[in-house]
A and B are shown apart, each in its own frame.
Chain A
């Protein structure tokens, strides 16, 4: 068996083959010695985050013993790595470091028959996962090792071949289909008929909804003897957000968003049936695993989509959990989807077909904990913590912190259902060590002294506590509530329920793990804990060139790429004001590209969070002088100046970003922070519109 597997693994080059044979003979004459073959390394270093693909040829399934090495520190003197073992019955992930092997996770091995299996290994932040034929078989969470060496070792029952590596940067793909019909694109039609269309020829052009599709171009698909499926993207897309706008034509069509597509017969599908279509088991909205062409419904609910109307389908997948949305309404939260990687797809059934637009794929990194029996394996604790009845509990009198996650996590939302009895629960972010973390904590009137009836943001250091924000609670909060801590560049914000109760401006977003905290003599309990990326910001841009509707009559509804702006009635460019149509609540970010810096003098004024009839929250004036690459920014509230700063743009073009979060206004030039101020006045009611003046 040993010789067989060696011969197979070394059939790559004559030199290696000779060496292998010599050593195998040596092993065979060493009576009683149990020789393991050597690691076979990928030649190139691949720094995480990464994905490795390859083939596993299984010859003797019951005796399979194949090992993969990820994040190794060296080819010559290997001392630390993650060991992924596949045997006939089990697969496991262990951390090997400093001579010690720690089992991180183990799972039953799925049934494998003799033949070739595609394997993939993903290492992304603190995550590790092993997939066979696109299906996750074991996964673990550990951030300790970051080496760049990958290797494999076939001990018995199979061989590894054709391994290849993929470093992972930012996953991002978008398609608005703004190109001439027939132009070459990156979509691969696996079934059905697909074509690129311009709505100027569409009988429904006058009924489009500008907020659901960003332009007059789209992709159209029709089923042909079965469903139609077209795909875009890479085999290694795993933890991503996938979204697409869809519009059914006629009453017989069904549209869907496919993700983790393996081939035309294997994929995950968010399927939206036509509400005017026939009733039956296929009606409604469903999350479906299509395996070998057979559909298995994982989740289903009534509803569907009306013909000739745009909808937005979205699926976010992370750690094999998928959440699906229709027009931002959560439809399904499925903890175990069938496939764990692959491209995105557009799906259609019926001869009437459907239109698709605005495909967007971006990275997605979330974490959900419901505190099952093995939950604490992913957590590190100080203080007295225990898991029972589906919740984690902390008991005083000493304070305690429970931390988890990727040490590089930064901008995110941490939330938990929390209950405190004579104690203060807390949410933790930026956790570097027990002596360095940030906490949002609160307590009702029965809470510990100093925290009772207050909400606080605190930076805990080795020297003690630094109070960043401390606000009285407007009402005695209930014992059990949902709390949220938002960590974003320049700001920490704590929420109880939907109400923001405390904020603290910071120079930069703290980076580190996240977690839970308990303080006081009583007990705190957390039945659920979630981490999510910050809410996606929707862009609105002024692109004056697209407002030429004589040239582009089909673009009348899409005068900008999203959220049309109100055309100024004032024809004088020096005084005209562009108002956005959108209503903006909550955090706002305005990006202003500035050109011709140094060659012209100019001034631009932005009124933020105001409406045409009322006063804005604040006004930002950007000024440039001829002969200088310096830009100055002044922030005023009413008549009062609240801050001013200048910075060198170091070129003739730059992008200025103005962020408004609550009363905190930040200005960034390129990547460099320029100004952060707190505006004193808050409008009594939510403003109706954001405005840009120029």
Chain B
């Protein structure tokens, strides 16, 4: 009976928590036009970043007009492969992407982007897999198409085949360098 009591009192952790870094899009270190901060009651904390629509809105894949962006400094707790997720709102098929850059400011043909085909609804979009060392890194979200908005982004060591963010998350301020 003694043994039963001891066992029952023991709470054993079987599954270590994955490293999740959540950043509100408005928690940038710098923002450059034409990227703007926008009030939006449907976004987490009622704010997001947006690349406003051009008038007329692009109807072709013409490429961005400028290098508007928001930059974030994050502290990575442990080296690893981090899946990037962005909580985004897209205007349409010609306004549904951002460039995602880690520790670089130069866009090349290899620069990954964040995109999918679910329009006019906040939802999580899978981005690139980033190889990050422990320590501080710069994440840059850059204008690729007008009409795109981002509410939050998330870096996780959990592979996307196993876990997908589905709700707005709580910002992990301990990983954000101001």
Contacts and interface: CB of A to CB of B under 8 A. Distances in A.
B164 interface: yes
Contacts of A294: none
B60 A551 contact: yes
Interface string B1-28: 1111011111111111100000000000
Interface residues of B, number: 46
A23 B3 contact: yes
B141 to A, nearest CB: 18
Contact of A163 (B14, B119, B121, B165): B14
A35 interface: yes
Interface of B: 1-4, 6-17, 38-42, 56-61, 92-94, 115-119, 121, 123, 126, 158, 161-167
B11 A186 contact: no
Given A170-B166, A551-B60, A650-B39, A27 B117 contact: no
B14 A234 contact: no
A169 B38 CA distance: 24
A35 B121 contact: no
B17 A670 contact: no
A43 B164 contact: no
Contacts of B161: 235
A651 B39 contact: yes
B4 A164 contact: no
A14 B39 CA distance: 49
A591 B20 CA distance: 36
Given A16-B13, A43-B17, A168 B166 contact: yes
Contacts of B1: 30, 33
A213 to B, nearest CB: 14
Contacts of B15: 42-44, 162-165
Given A164-B15, A164-B163, A166-B164, A19 B10 contact: yes
Interface residues of A, number: 65
A548 interface: yes
A167 B16 contact: no
A527 B59 CA distance: 55
Contacts of A650: 39, 41
A176 B58 CA distance: 18
Contacts of A161: 14
Contacts, number: 134
B14 A12 contact: yes
Given A38-B10, A174-B117, A651-B39, A167 B166 contact: yes
A106 interface: no
A178 B96 CA distance: 10
Contact of B117 (A9, A34, A176, A544): A176
A169 B166 contact: yes
7 contacts: A19-B12, A23-B3, A26-B2, A30-B2, A164-B15, A183-B115, A235-B161
Nearest to A653: B38
A546 B14 contact: no
Given A177-B117, A179-B93, A41 B11 contact: yes
B48 to A, nearest CB: 12
A40 interface: yes
A127 interface: no
A367 interface: no
Nearest 7 interchain pairs by C-beta: A169-B166, A178-B93, A169-B167, A40-B14, A27-B3, A174-B118, A38-B10
B159 to A, nearest CB: 10
B116 A186 contact: yes
B41 A670 contact: yes
A176 B115 CA distance: 13
A164 B10 CA distance: 21
Contacts of B4: 33-36
A671 B167 CA distance: 18
Interface string A626-665: 0000000000000000000000001101000000000000
Given A39-B11, A43-B13, A186-B126, A23 B93 contact: no
A215 B3 contact: no
B8 to A, nearest CB: 6
Contacts of B60: 551-552
Contact of B14 (A9, A166, A175, A544): A9
A173 B6 CA distance: 48
A171 interface: yes
Nearest to B115: A179
Nearest to B117: A175
A33 B49 CA distance: 62
Contacts of B56: 544-545
A17 to B, nearest CB: 10
Contact of A16 (B12, B61, B118, B158): B12
B3 A234 contact: no
Nearest to B20: A44
B12 A33 contact: no
A38 B166 contact: no
Contacts of B12: 10, 16, 19-20, 38-41
Contacts of A164: 15, 158, 162-163
B167 A174 contact: no
A20 to B, nearest CB: 8
Given A30-B2, A548-B59, A38 B8 contact: yes
Contacts of B38: 651, 653
B93 A176 contact: yes
Given A166-B166, A183-B115, A548-B59, 18 more contacts: A10-B12, A12-B14, A23-B7, A42-B15, A44-B15, A160-B14, A166-B162, A166-B163, A167-B167, A174-B118, A174-B119, A175-B116, A179-B93, A215-B93, A235-B161, A551-B59, A651-B39, A653-B38
Contacts of B41: 650, 670-671
B3 A171 contact: no
A43 B13 CA distance: 6
A671 B42 contact: yes
Contacts of B163: 164-166
A523 B9 CA distance: 55
Given A169-B167, A234-B164, A543 B92 contact: yes
A90 interface: no
A30 B7 CA distance: 13
Contacts of A670: 41-42
A313 B59 CA distance: 30
A321 B170 CA distance: 36
Interface string A661-694: 0000000001100000000000000000000000
A114 interface: no
A404 interface: no
A10 B3 CA distance: 17
B52 to A, nearest CB: 9
A645 B126 CA distance: 42
A75 B13 CA distance: 10
A168 B164 CA distance: 9
Nearest to A6: B7
A30 B118 contact: no
Interface string A491-532: 000000000000000000000000000000000000000000
B13 to A, nearest CB: 5
Contacts of A178: 93, 117
A461 to B, nearest CB: 33
Contacts of B165: 169
Contacts of B94: 545
A389 interface: no
A234 B162 CA distance: 8
Given A76-B11, A167-B166, A26 B118 contact: no
Contacts of A20: 12
Contacts of B13: 16, 40-41, 43
Nearest to B53: A595
Nearest to B58: A545
Contacts of B164: 166, 234
Interface string A207-236: 000000001000000000000000000110
